[in-house]
């Protein structure tokens, strides 16, 4: 997986490209967290538009970034989740966390 990070004002967007599993999640996590800690964005957006496969490691990635943003007093938004990803998000009960969701694909 590759991560494309863009920052605009107090918004940081991470476009995730490829497949998310335990192996690939680590590097993505490290890249995102390093940038968040450097720029302290108010809003972190994880964009799943270019994700072709994801297992529960992706849910761990979301939960961990939510925790980090919470600690920093910011918000997490997830965008463009596929049907399968949305299904896992539902199973994890992420609805109970204050995570914003935007645009779903398909």
Partner 1 sequence: MKKPINEMRLVMPSCSSNESFARVAVASFVAQLDPTIDEITDIKTAVSEAVTNCIVHAYKDSIGNIYIHSKIFEDGKVSVKIRDTGCGIGDVKQAMEPLFTTGGEERAGLGFAVMESFMDKLKVRSTEGRGTTVILEKYLIRRERNDN
Ligand X SMILES: Nc1ncnc2c1ncn2[C@@H]1O[C@H](COP(=O)(O)OP(=O)(O)OP(=O)(O)O)[C@@H](O)[C@H]1O
Name the one range near ligand X by CB under 6 A: 12-20, 53-61, 76-84, 98-106.
Answer: 53-61
Nearer to ligand X, 12 or 62 (CB): 62
Residue number, 23 or 42, with CB nearest to partner 1: 23
Residue 84 contacts partner 1 per CB under 8 A: yes
Crossing angle (nearest 10°) for helices 83-91 and 56-71: 60
Query: CA 75, 79, 84 angle in degrees (round to 5)?
Result: 125
The answer to whether the beta carbons of residues 76 and 69 sit under 8 Å apart is: yes
Query: Using CB under 6 A, which of 60, 72, 77, 104 touches ligand X?
Result: 60
Could you give the string, one character per residue 26-65, with x where binding to partner 1 holds by CB under 8 A and - elsewhere? ---x-----------------------xxxxx-xxx-xx-
């Amino acid at each position: 997986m590759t991560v494309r990070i863009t920052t605009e004002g107090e918004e940081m967007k991470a476009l995730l490209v490829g497949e998310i599993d335990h192996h690939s999640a680590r590097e993505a996590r490290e890249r995102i967290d390093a940038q968040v800690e450097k720029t302290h964005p108010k809003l972190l957006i994880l964009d799943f538009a270019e994700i072709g496969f994801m297992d529960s490691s992706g849910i761990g990635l979301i939960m961990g970034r939510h925790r980090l943003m919470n600690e920093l007093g910011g918000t997490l938004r997830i965008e463009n989740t596929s049907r399968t990803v949305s299904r896992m998000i539902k199973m994890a009960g992420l609805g109970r966390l204050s995570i914003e969701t935007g645009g779903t694909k398909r």
